[in-house]
Chains A and B, each alone.
Chain A
């Protein structure tokens, strides 16, 4: 029981410090090095599986929790990682709505929107450097982009189609 509580607190902390992206380095340091709950192989496999899961990529934490302490561990890890940050998000969004008319909130919004544009472009660049590793891959990305941009086809169909193409081409 105390072990599960320690686990919960560790995942709460990991969730709160993954700011604008996931802090995999810190996860490795805490889960593998400091606590020894999982080994490096489990960390890598869980991460790859997380990319395949429907939903947030970091459901890898569910895998880590299960590896360490079965079903209870999986639930504790998931709740700890996602619960508190979602709560903060909801509170922030509600406060934002309430003070919409405040001139400083208006100014903050004007300051924030261009920053947000820069952040998503940077994210696309970082993701592109890790996910597009060949000309064929780049072709798949361009084809997917044109499909999404020009048609109303469901994006899941495009992603799954690309997965099939990737398997066939042996990307």
Chain B
């Protein structure tokens, strides 16, 4: 664990997440969140991997949950609130404006816009990968980790199994492997 530079205020978190939201056009919010937090020294690579995984486990749209968790960890209840409001506000405002415009007309997207969207999606995949690799590295370093990483990837990515049974099997196996042993 490296020492952290400082703890942010709720307002600073709101600003960070507004920035993350503006960066997250086309997806990849967790990746942008990681980049922003690490750049400011507010969270370690390990702390982020842990929070990110927890966010995956709670029900709901990931990006908002991650904001809530990061905010809660760094700055308590108020931090959670400002983080979620921060991450939602920019898109909410733009989406309302766009809704007013498109729902008046036919609402079809132009071919150029669709091409731009596809380009952005490819870059968003790259953004996701830059965030995924550190999380994989942290998980890989745990005892028995590589097997769990590979099996989980195959089950969810290749076989497209349901998340819940895979989660129960993998985390159950991990708990058995790492169960607390009474010393002495």
A interface residues (Cβ-Cβ under 8 A, vs B): 15-22, 41-42, 45, 48-59, 62-63, 66-67, 71, 74, 78, 81-82, 84-94, 96-97, 103-104, 106-128, 130-133, 137-138, 140-142, 144-145, 147-149, 152, 154-156, 158-167, 169-171
Contacts and interface: CB of A to CB of B under 8 A. Distances in A.
Nearest to A85: B60
Contacts of B142: 110, 113-114
Interface of B: 21-29, 31-32, 35, 39, 49-73, 76-77, 80-81, 84, 87-92, 94-96, 98-100, 102-103, 107-109, 111-132, 135-140, 142-153, 155-158, 160, 163-164, 167, 170-175, 177-180
A20 B139 contact: no
Contacts, number: 394
Contacts of B66: 89
Contacts of A160: 25, 120
A49 B53 contact: no
A74 to B, nearest CB: 6
Contacts of B31: 155
Contacts of B59: 15-19, 85, 88
Given A55-B90, A131-B121, A108 B62 contact: no
A96 B52 CA distance: 13
A140 B115 CA distance: 12
Given A63-B99, A88-B65, 11 more contacts: A48-B117, A56-B61, A85-B65, A93-B69, A115-B139, A115-B148, A115-B149, A115-B167, A117-B137, A124-B129, A133-B118
Contact of A115 (B29, B53, B81, B121): B53
B56 to A, nearest CB: 5
A144 B136 contact: no
Q: Interface residues of A: mostly helix, strand, loop or mixed?
A: helix
Given A41-B107, A52-B120, A156 B22 contact: yes
A54 B80 contact: no
Nearest to A145: B126
A131 B119 CA distance: 9
